[in-house]
Structure 1
Amino acid sequence: MRWIAAFALLVLATPASAQEWVPQRAARLQALDKVTARVTILEARVGSSVTFGSLTINLRSCYGRAPDEVPDAAAWMEMTDSRARPEAPPAFHGWMFANAPGVNMLEHPVYDIRVLECR
């Protein structure tokens, strides 16, 4: 539910003329392995999944701003960890925002995932 409130705040705080989110087909994600400090750029298509370490990242939706507006991206993702117990909830599900990564983020001891852009 945090993501609904976060998305609503971003929309309400933006002038009406700048609220155009354009659906996109893919996302560029930045993945960090906190143990090795390895940063990897991942490409994910809407409706498909990519893996990073023990995480499986399912990209459900991705929106970007119109070309004549300030660049931003919002992606709806669900992440599961293959090392988690079978009955455990997903490691993450919800919206992530490129310009506000702290609003709704993956809380994982080993990995960090951020949205860079939707295209």
Structure 2
Amino acid sequence: MIFRAFVSAIALLAPLAATAQTAKAPGAMLRGLDKISGSYEDFSLTAGETVLLGKLQITLGECRYPTDNPSGDAFAWLVVRDGNSEKTAFEGWMISSSPGLNGLDHPRYDVWVLRCTTE
């Protein structure tokens, strides 16, 4: 019974999720935290640009946002490489409204998306 209700609810909500319109932004505003020192830094990136946060190399692939709410729910494709080992520490979408949903797992640094930049 509960399973049927759940499946019905998903079936009804699926068309709504599919109609959400997004726009591609030229860049994103990110925040980086050094967990050991407690210091943080905000930085702006354009698509394809790479910045350094300590030994991490952070590259922005693209940033998207809902067209009806440009200041909220941004999501950005990031590639984060650890400079010590050249291994990819993170590659995927980060969502500004849910930074813990798909986040960077690093012992020293944390990175999250604040918003897309539209100018």
Shorter-chain TM-score range: 0.7 to 0.9
TM-score by length of 1: 0.79
Distance 1:14 1:111 in 2: 38
Structure 1 residues 19 and 79: alpha-carbon distance in aligned structure 2, compared to 1, 3 A threshold: same
Corresponding position of 1:98: 96
Structure 1 residues 83 and 14: alpha-carbon distance in aligned structure 2, compared to 1, 3 A threshold: farther
Distance 1:95 1:81 in 2: 18
Structure 2 letter corresponding to 1:96 = M
Offset, 1:117 = 0.3
* Structure with max Cα Rg: 2
Q: Which moved more, 1:61-70 or 1:91-100?
A: 61-70
Structure 1 residues 13 and 30: alpha-carbon distance in aligned structure 2, compared to 1, 3 A threshold: farther
Alignment RMSD: 2.2
Residue 91 of structure 1 aligns to a residue whose secondary structure is strand
Structure 1 residues 68 and 108: alpha-carbon distance in aligned structure 2, compared to 1, 3 A threshold: closer
C-alpha contact (below 8 Å) 1:18/1:69 kept by paired residues: no
Structure 2: segments with no counterpart, 5+ residues:
1-12
1:40 aligns with 2:21: no
Sequence identity (%): 34
1:108 aligns with 2:106: yes
Provide, for residues 58-82 of structure 1, a one-character-per-residue CA deviation record: whole Å limited to 9, x for no partner.
1011101224577210100101011
Structure 2 letter corresponding to 1:93 = E
Corresponding position of 1:20: 21
Structure 1 consecutive aligned stretches of length 4 or more whose deviation exceeds 4 Å: 67-70
Structure 1 residues 75 and 13: alpha-carbon distance in aligned structure 2, compared to 1, 3 A threshold: farther
TM-score by length of 2: 0.79
- Aligned residue pairs total 105
